[in-house]
């Protein structure tokens, strides 16, 4: 059975619960809630994974990452995915629309004639 090593990082179950409710990103909250449930013995990794429709290996990975690297390992970071093989072409046009000058209401004296 896999356990959450709170002592290694100087945290308590209450710290995990607080992070599960106060973290800005939903995926971070989900991970800290899983750690809290496992640390307090309310669920094991497999039963918690089943209850949140995750793979066992996913939740076990969260616990292992936390045990190895601490709370920062449970914080979600957007990776952005892989870059496309052919990046989109960038337009050479400006994104801001230029305004056309108003036509002059004064007549050029040379063009007006006698």
Provide DSSP, 56-110: HHHHHHHHHHHHHH-GGGGS------PPPSSPPPPPSS-SSPPPPPPPP-SPPHH
Quick one: pLDDT at residue 81? 75
CA dihedral 44, 35, 74, 18 (to 10 degrees): 160
Report the alpha-carbon distance of residue 80 to residue 78 in Å, rounded. Answer: 6
Question: pTM for the whole thing?
Answer: 0.69
Confidence of residue 37 (pLDDT cuts 50, 70, 90): very high
Please give the pLDDT value at position 108: 59
Segment 39-68 mean pLDDT: 96
What gap in Å lies between CA 18 and CA 36, rounded to an integer?
9
């Amino acid at each position: 059975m896999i356990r959450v090593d709170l002592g290694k990082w100087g945290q308590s179950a209450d710290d995990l619960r607080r992070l599960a409710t106060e973290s800005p990103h939903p995926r971070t909250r989900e991970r800290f809630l899983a750690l809290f449930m496992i640390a307090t013995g309310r669920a094991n990794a497999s039963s918690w994974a089943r209850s949140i429709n995750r793979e066992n290996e996913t939740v076990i990975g969260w616990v292992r990452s936390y045990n190895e690297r601490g709370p920062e390992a449970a914080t979600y970071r957007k990776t952005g995915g892989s870059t496309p093989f052919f990046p989109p072409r960038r337009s050479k046009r400006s994104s801001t629309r230029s305004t056309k000058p108003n036509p002059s209401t004064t007549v050029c004296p040379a063009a007006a004639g006698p």
